[in-house]
Amino acid sequence: MSDAKFLIRLSMLMLALAVSHFNSGPAHGQKLVIAWTSVSAFNSPFWIMPEVGFYKQEGLDVDTIFILSSPTAAKATLAGDISISAQNSQVVADSGLAGGDLVSMGAVVNIVPFYMMATPEIKTIGDLRGKSVGISRFGAASDFGTRMFLAKHGLEANKDVAFVQIGGQPEIAVALSKKLIAAAAMSQPMAAVAEQQGARLLANMVKDEIPFVHLSLTSTKRFIKEHRAQAKAFLRAYGRSMHFLYNRREDTLKIFQKYTKVQDPKILEATLKYGYEFMEKVPFVKPAGFQVTLDEIARNNPKAKGAKPAQFYDNSLVQELVDEGFFTKLWGRAP
């Protein structure tokens, strides 16, 4: 069995165990199962919230689990087995266009933030023509971001460049080190790990400024309607996790070390800096990210042409917290 398949089965086993306790929640309501999907700085709020006790502070009873990719977690969220998960705008939009009710109620990152890492033989982006690039899974953020990046540089995905599903970021780093792929879009800390193993930075995709809701705090419209207080409490916990990340540096680095399994202090520092650069303190979803996503989806799905970004996100909970002064009180100023 491949490492990727093993991780998927392990994740689903963890999900089954979590769901078995679903009805043992506190007086506030049912136990929430919340999933993060990648070993990346951007998923760190999902690590900090349980580690520091922000869920309990907000009166939430939560089981946090890891599922290897956004599309897999999305199916469990749609089924109601997971209450909130980490998704990108393509997964949310694809679901909505197919009749699902996934909705982004907050955004952690509103831009494509990857580094394109490559084997030493690849000197330019053009050198990728006829080669293979690695992604986690089709439909994942790495898939969308890589397609958009290549298109801006005159290369068409799956025509000029083959896409290979590898699994998580650690598995992608291994594939690069063994030269099973020529390049891959990576985030920290695994981009730095790949570089240590011989890969080189081919391009910083941030310079292309591609709008994209790279990671959103995603639930279903039904969950928000029926459990609005819990959804809002989760967003407060997220806000507290971001304040912690900025103000408790050493403690944050210890949490990063625990969840990434990275020991190198320089890589951990780079990972934290990477998070500072892109993560939203006030997690409003930016409509441009969904518009670019719909434009890309429309190339193969006519339903996307008539769709509007507002169908797929709901900023009302974050706006309520802003209006109540939550973020200003938390930061001592408007963040």
Assess whether 105 and 139 both reside in one domain: no
Assess whether 201 and 218 both reside in one domain: no
Contacts of 119 (CB under 8 A, 6+ apart): 176, 179, 181, 182, 183, 198, 199, 200
Assess whether 93 and 172 both reside in one domain: no
Assess whether 77 and 178 both reside in one domain: no
- Domain boundary, last residue among 183, 208, 233: 208
Question: What's the pLDDT score for residue 140?
Answer: 80
CATH of the domain at 327: 3.40.190.10
- Domain boundary, last residue among 166, 192, 208: 208
Closest CA to 110 of 7, 27, 24, 211: 211
Assess whether 201 and 121 both reside in one domain: yes
Question: What's the pLDDT score for residue 139?
Answer: 78
Question: What's the pLDDT score for residue 70?
Answer: 82
State which residues form the domain around 192: 115-208
Assess whether 323 and 219 both reside in one domain: yes
**Could you count the other beta carbons within 10 Å of the beta carbon of residue 22?**
15
Assess whether 106 and 233 both reside in one domain: yes
Flag residues of the chain having pLDDT under 70.
1-29
Assess whether 100 and 229 both reside in one domain: yes
Distance CA(114)–CA(185), nearest Å, equals 6
**Could you count the other beta carbons within 10 Å of the beta carbon of residue 159?**
9
β-pairing, 183-186 vs 62-66, is unpaired
Cis peptide bond upstream of 189, omega within 30: yes
Question: What's the pLDDT score for residue 137?
Answer: 85
- Domain boundary, last residue among 186, 208, 230: 208
Closest CA to 234 of 66, 103, 93, 50: 50
**Could you count the other beta carbons within 10 Å of the beta carbon of residue 98?**
11
Question: What's the pLDDT score for residue 208?
Answer: 82
Assess whether 104 and 200 both reside in one domain: no
Assess whether 17 and 137 both reside in one domain: no
Question: What's the pLDDT score for residue 29?
Answer: 55
Count of domains in the chain?
A: 2
Question: What's the pLDDT score for residue 12?
Answer: 46
pLDDT tens per residue, range 266-310: 999 999 988 998 899 999 999 999 999 999 899 889 999 999 999
The CA dihedral of 237, 242, 243, 248, to the nearest 10 degrees, is 110
Contacts of 128 (CB under 8 A, 6+ apart): 118, 122, 150, 155, 160, 161, 182, 183
Assess whether 145 and 198 both reside in one domain: yes
Assess whether 28 and 150 both reside in one domain: no
